C-alpha cells in the first residue's frame, strides 16, 4: 500500500523561504501537534514531491533536516517513519524515579562480551600516576576567573603533544582546552553557524556530530564516504562547515589518502567552508605511522579536535580544539558568552599526566594491547574485516537483510555488537557490523568473534 499523506501541506514560491524549509516546517508542526503520530509512515520523497509539485530534492532535503533533528527514523531501511518519542517532552508526570531509562548505556554485565565501539579500555591504567595527577589537581585553590582558552601550561603541553604525536606545527596560541570532542564541535557550531546554515557530516558517521549541529539550528547534510573516507567530489559547494574523520573514518575505518586530502582542502578554499577534523583515535595505529593531521596542511581552513576520551575514557572530561588564532578568539568570546568552560582542577590533573609522560606511557601500552585484540579479530573474521589497521573498531560489511537477525542472535548468545546502519541519518547506504575492541578483553574478543563467525551466513562474504 502506497502511503499517502492526509495533511494540508502547501508550498509558496513567492515568500522567499526555501521550499525545503517550508516543507520541513509544516511536517514538524504536524508531528508537534499530533497530525502525524510516532511510527506513522511518511510518503516516499518521490510521491510527496509529485503531490506538492516540487522537485524531489526539496522533499529529500526536508526529510534530511527532520532526520537530523530526530523527528524521523529511517533506520529500518524501508521507508521514512515518524520517530518514537519525536514529540518533544510535553507533560511532566509523577513517575517512579528509580526506573532507569533505556538511554543509559552501562558496562555489559559479567559474562557478556561487549563489542560495541566507542569506549576505550580503562582497566589497565597506572594507579600511581592517576592518583598523583588528581592530587596535583588540588594543589592550587579554586579560581574565580577561569580562562576560556584554558590553562596556559596545559595549552603548552597539548601543543607539544600535538607536535610530537600528530606532526602538527602548532603553538599554544592556537590551542584551546575543551572538555571533549563534542564540546569542541558545539563551540564551533555556536560560533560559526546561523540558523539554516548547511553543515556536512560524514554518512555513515558519528551520531553525536549531526545531533550537535542540528540542535544548533544547522541544516545537516549527509556526505557519503567510501572505504578511504569522505568522497570529495560528492561535497556540495554551499557548506559552511564539514565534519570529517580523516585519520580513521568512523565507522567505516578508512584513512583519507594524501591526494584526497589535497582535493578536500582545495574544495574548502574554493567554497570558503571550514573543515572540522575529528582526530578522535589517531594515536592508535598498528602498522605504519599515522599521517600527519590535516590541520598541518592548511591551518587557515581546518579546525582540529582531539580528546582524552579514547585513551583515558570520556569521564575525565578533557579535549582540545586547534584553530587559526582569529577563529580561536571568536570561539573564546562565544564560549565566554555562553558561560561554558573546562574544569580547572581537571586541567591541572591532565597537565600532570602530560608533564610526567604518564599519558605517553599509557598510549604505548594500550597500542600494544589493542593491536593484539585487533589481530584476534582478524584471525577469527579475516576475510570479512574492513578498515585500517588502526583505532578501536573494525567494520564487517554484510548484506542488509542479514544484519538485524545476526545482531539479535549474537545478543542471545551474550555478544553485544553495533551496526553500520545505526550510524546513518538518512536511509542506510552501508550495511554490516561495527565491532569495537575497547570494552572487551583479548579473550572476550576471541570468544565474541567465534560466535559472530558462526552466525555469518556463507553467502555473507
Q: At closest approach, how far in Å is the CB of 189 from its own copies?
A: 9
Here the cell at position 201 is 557530516
Instruction: Select the residue interacting with its own copies from 14, 34, 382, 458 (CB under 8 A).
Output: 14
**Is 436:116 a contact under the CB 8 Å cutoff?**
yes
Q: At closest approach, how far in Å is the CB of 249 from its own copies?
A: 18
Order of strands across the sheet that contains 198-203: 175-178, 319-322, 302-307, 274-278, 241-244, 198-203, 219-226, 229-230
| Beta strand 175-178 pairing with 319-322 | antiparallel
Instruction: Select the residue interacting with its own copies from 141, 382, 383, 458 (CB under 8 A).
Output: 141
4 touches its own copies by CB under 8 A: no
Nearer to its own copies by C-beta: 249 or 342?
342
Q: At closest approach, how far in Å is the CB of 405 from its own copies?
A: 27
Instruction: Select the residue interacting with its own copies from 109, 110, 195, 382 (CB under 8 A).
Output: 195
The SS3 call for residue 169 is coil
Q: How many residues of this chain bind its own copies (CB under 8 A)? A: 114
| Beta strand 113-114 pairing with 302-307 | unpaired
**Contacts (CB under 8 A) with its own copies, residues 219-278:** 272, 274
Q: At closest approach, how far in Å is the CB of 382 from its own copies?
A: 28
138 touches its own copies by CB under 8 A: yes
**Contacts (CB under 8 A) with its own copies, residues 339-378:** 339-346, 349
Cis peptide before 251 (omega within 30 of 0): yes
Cα–Cα distance list, 304 to 89, 326, 333 (Å): 35, 15, 19
148 touches its own copies by CB under 8 A: yes
Nearer to its own copies by C-beta: 287 or 326?
326
**Contacts (CB under 8 A) with its own copies, residues 271-330:** 272, 274, 300-301, 312-318, 323-330
| Beta strand 274-278 pairing with 241-244 | parallel
Q: Tell me the window of 96-104, 242-250, 396-404, 421-429 that interacts with its own copies (CB under 8 A).
A: 96-104
Q: At closest approach, how far in Å is the CB of 255 from its own copies?
A: 23
427 touches its own copies by CB under 8 A: no
Strands (E) in 145-287, as ranges, are: 175-178, 198-203, 219-226, 229-230, 241-244, 274-278
CA distance 322 to 307: 11
39 touches its own copies by CB under 8 A: no
**Partners of residue 80 on adjacent β-strands:** 42
Instruction: Select the residue interacting with its own copies from 115, 193, 297, 398 (CB under 8 A).
Output: 193
63 touches its own copies by CB under 8 A: no
Q: At closest approach, how far in Å is the CB of 294 from its own copies?
A: 15
Q: At closest approach, how far in Å is the CB of 155 from its own copies?
A: 10
| Beta strand 80-82 pairing with 41-42 | antiparallel
| H or E element in which residue 379 lies | helix 358-381
Q: At closest approach, how far in Å is the CB of 214 from its own copies?
A: 10
**Is 435:394 a contact under the CB 8 Å cutoff?**
yes
Q: Tell me the window of 55-63, 280-288, 338-346, 421-429 that interacts with its own copies (CB under 8 A).
A: 338-346
Amino acid at each position: 500500500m502506497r502511503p499517502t499523506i492526509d495533511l494540508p501541506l502547501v508550498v509558496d514560491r513567492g515568500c522567499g523561504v526555501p521550499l525545503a524549509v517550508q516543507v520541513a516546517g509544516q511536517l514538524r508542526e504536524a508531528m508537534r501537534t499530533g497530525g502525524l503520530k510516532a511510527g506513522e509512515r511518511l510518503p516516499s520523497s518521490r510521491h510527496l514531491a509529485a503531490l506538492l509539485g516540487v522537485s524531489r530534492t526539496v522533499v529529500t532535503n526536508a526529510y534530511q533536516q527532520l532526520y537530523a533533528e530526530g523527528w524521523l527514523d529511517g533506520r529500518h531501511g524501508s521507508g521514512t517513519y515518524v520517530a518514537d518519542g519525536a514529540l518533544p517532552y510535553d507533560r511532566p508526570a509523577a513517575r517512579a524515579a528509580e526506573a532507569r531509562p533505556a538511554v543509559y548505556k552501562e558496562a555489559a554485565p559479567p559474562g557478556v562480551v561487549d563489542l560495541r565501539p566507542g569506549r576505550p579500555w580503562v582497566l589497565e591504567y597506572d594507579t600511581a600516576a592517576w592518583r598523583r595527577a588528581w592530587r596535583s589537581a588540588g594543589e592550587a585553590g579554586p579560581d574565580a576567573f577561569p580562562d576560556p582558552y584554558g590553562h596556559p601550561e596545559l595549552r603548552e603541553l597539548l601543543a607539544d603533544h600535538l607536535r610530537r604525536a600528530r606532526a602538527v606545527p602548532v603553538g599554544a596560541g592556537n590551542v584551546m582546552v575543551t572538555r571533549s570532542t563534542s564540546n569542541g564541535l558545539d563551540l564551533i557550531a555556536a560560533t560559526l553557524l546561523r540558523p539554516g546554515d548547511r553543515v556536512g557530516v560524514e554518512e555513515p558517521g558519528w551520531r553525536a556530530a549531526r545531533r550537535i549541529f542540528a540542535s544548533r539550528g544547522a541544516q545537516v547534510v549527509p556526505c557519503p564516504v567510501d572505504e578511504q573516507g569522505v568522497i570529495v567530489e560528492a561535497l556540495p559547494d554551499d557548506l559552511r562547515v564539514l565534519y570529517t574523520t580523516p585519520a580513521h573514518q568512523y565507522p567505516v575505518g578508512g584513512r583519507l589518502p594524501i591526494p584526497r586530502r589535497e582535493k578536500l582542502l582545495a574544495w574548502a578554499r574554493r567554497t570558503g567552508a571550514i573543515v572540522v577534523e575529528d582526530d578522535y583515535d589517531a594515536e592508535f595505529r598498528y602498522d605504519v605511522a599515522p599521517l600527519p593531521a590535516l590541520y598541518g596542511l592548511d591551518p587557515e581552513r581546518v579546525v582540529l579536535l582531539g580528546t582524552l576520551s579514547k585513551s583515558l575514557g570520556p569521564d575525565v572530561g578533557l579535549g582540545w580544539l586547534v584553530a587559526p588564532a582569529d577563529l580561536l578568539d571568536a570561539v573564546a568570546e562565544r564560549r565566554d558568552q555562553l558561560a561554558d568552560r573546562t574544569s580547572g582542577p581537571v586541567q591541572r590533573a591532565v597537565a600532570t599526566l602530560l608533564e610526567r609522560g604518564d599519558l605517553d606511557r599509557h598510549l604505548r601500552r594500550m597500542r600494544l594491547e589493542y593491536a593484539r585484540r585487533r589481530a584476534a579479530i582478524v584471525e577469527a573474521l579475516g576475510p570479512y574485516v574492513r578498515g585500517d589497521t588502526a583505532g578501536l573498531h573494525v567494520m564487517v560489511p554484510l548484506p542488509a537483510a542479514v544484519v538485524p537477525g545476526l545482531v539479535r542472535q549474537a545478543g542471545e548468545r551474550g555478544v553485544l555488537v553495533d551496526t553500520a546502519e545505526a550510524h546513518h541519518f538518512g536511509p542506510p547506504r552501508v550495511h554490516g557490523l561495527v565491532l569495537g575492541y575497547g570494552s572487551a578483553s583479548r579473550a572476550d574478543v576471541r570468544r565474541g568473534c567465534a560466535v559472530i563467525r558462526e552466525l555469518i551466513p556463507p553467502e555473507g562474504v
